Amino acid sequence: MTNYFDEAVKRICESVRFDSSLAKYSSKFPFGRGAADCLCHFLKLAETLGFETENYDNYIGEVIFGSGKEEFAILCHLDVVPAGDGWTKDPFGGTIEDGSIWGRGTVDDKGPAICCLYALKSLKDKGFVPSKKIKLIVGCNEESGWGCIEHYNEVTKMPEKGFSPDANFPVIYAEKGILHLRLHFPMPTAPFLHLEGGKQGNMVCDRCEATPRSLTVTKARELGLTVQNKKIIAYGKSAHGSMPELGENAILPILKFFESKSEVVARIIDCVFNDIYGLKELSDETGRLTMSPNVIKYRKKQVLVLVDIRYPATVPVQEVLSRVAKFGVKYETVHSQAPLYHEKDSELVTSLLSTFEECTGVKAEPIAIGGGTYARAIKEGVGFGPEMPGDPPVVHMADEHITLERVKLLLEIYEKAIERLTK
């Protein structure tokens, strides 16, 4: 497997250099030119390695290995969230420094996708003949709506079993449900002329700005705000929407500036930050509900707040929505995904857990997460890597990177896992 380490590192760097974040739609490039170019780069690479490929209209593609009647899926994605602020490296540079590859997508999820491709190549080279048809599926819209998966299901058939290398080790047996809700807070008279913050629903807002009707510089600075050209600006720290505690939400200090000037602003703070209706009290073995208001805009006499909610896997979604209804404002569902839940002793979970323990020497138990992966796009799917317990958080954050040692380990783990599950 180490024969392909240098090659895998090179190709990860190349892939990172495509800005594959969501861009303007066109019939040829449904998620933007960058995502389509990144997909074509991946599929062309797979073809040079001797694999059959399919590109489904630049929505999603797949690499095929084997010809068994039963199919097995490895679900990855090549799109990324926007770079955001605070980087010390070029987010689309794909540079190698300090023993790591740096850039957006190195961990989430271009790096693991490339490692899975070279795991297939290594198996192919040693003459392995899988009993199942393996489909390495690479989507281009995982981060912002799953339109790629919808298109895949329209044009072909999704395998019923597989894993997604877009989560954590040792094995993810459960994922919380996901709700992205846009809340409409009417504001006939606003204490600001302009208010806007956040880039994407599943990223903690790292920059928010407003133009007050009256500016108190002293108060702004007491709240840690920057004053610039009659605007106030708050800088936070981005993080994955499923783990808002790892970030610093820039929306709150801006709202705090206006709290005493507007009952509506105070209401927004109470609902989405102070959680006066107890959404975060909902919990089960997959953890407590998390709620992260990640995008805010003032438009047409209303404040629109896009909230990322990750709710416990065994809690009915209606229980969540019944508490949201107490906010007393209109809301719309922008995106939703039902929870994923598998028994810990299922064959898929135990096989992957055994592989992890064999490759790392670490005894571990399957875990649950708040993030949502492609694993829930198939009937029996789980998350499997690439993040290890104790890793510093980098997903959806500035200076995302993957260590070269991790790339080497992923090549080994994914080759053994694929062989074990498809022999």
Judge whether 281 counts as a catalytic residue. no
How large is the average pLDDT for residues 266-295?
96
Residues near 184 by beta carbon (within 8 Å), at least 6 away in sequence: 302, 303, 304, 329, 330, 331, 332
pLDDT tier at 285 (50, 70, 90 boundaries)?
confident
pLDDT tens digits along 377-412: 999 999 999 999 999 999 999 999 999 999 999 999
Judge whether 142 counts as a catalytic residue. yes
Domain match, 218 and 252 both: yes
Domain match, 17 and 99 both: yes
> Is the confidence at residue 2, as pLDDT, over 60?
no
Residue 371: predicted pLDDT: 76
How large is the average pLDDT for residues 205-213?
97
> Is the confidence at residue 177, as pLDDT, over 90?
yes
Domain match, 359 and 315 both: no
Residue 232: predicted pLDDT: 97
- Mean pLDDT is lowest, of 51-55, 200-204, 250-254, for 200-204
Domain match, 357 and 243 both: no
Q: How far apart are CA 139 and CA 375, in angstroms?
A: 12
Domain match, 205 and 112 both: no
> Is the confidence at residue 1, as pLDDT, over 70?
no
- Of the candidates 328, 223, 208, 324, the one whose C-alpha atom is nearest the C-alpha of residue 275 is 324
How large is the average pLDDT for residues 259-272?
97
Percentage, residues of the chain above pLDDT 90: 94
How large is the average pLDDT for residues 265-277?
98
Across the chain, mean pLDDT equals 96
How large is the average pLDDT for residues 318-326?
98
Residue 149: predicted pLDDT: 97
Q: Which helix (H) or strand (E) holds 16?
A: helix 5-16
Domain match, 135 and 83 both: yes
pLDDT tens digits along 88-104: 999 999 999 999 999 99
Domain match, 214 and 68 both: no
Domain match, 172 and 28 both: yes
Give the end of a domain, one of 296, 311, 337: 337
Give the end of a domain, one of 337, 368, 388: 337
Q: Measured between alpha carbons, how far apart are the two ends of the chain, in Å? A: 18
Residue among 79, 109, 143, 209 flagged as catalytic: 79
Total number of domains in the chain? 2
Domain match, 188 and 151 both: no
Q: Which amino acid is it at 266?
A: A
Question: Which tokens in the block code for residue 246?
Answer: 């790892």
CATH value at residue 233: 3.30.70.360
Domain match, 154 and 121 both: yes
Residue 3: predicted pLDDT: 81
pLDDT tens digits along 326-382: 999 999 999 999 999 888 999 999 999 999 999 999 999 999 888 778 999 999 999
Give the end of a domain, one of 282, 302, 337: 337
Q: How far apart are CA 418 and CA 120, in angstroms?
A: 8
Domain match, 198 and 292 both: yes
CATH value at residue 14: 3.40.630.10
Domain range for 215 is: 177-337
Domain match, 18 and 43 both: yes
Question: Which tokens in the block code for residue 83?
Answer: 């770079």
How large is the average pLDDT for residues 70-97?
97
Integer Rg of the chain from CA: 22
Residue among 71, 108, 109, 142 flagged as catalytic: 142
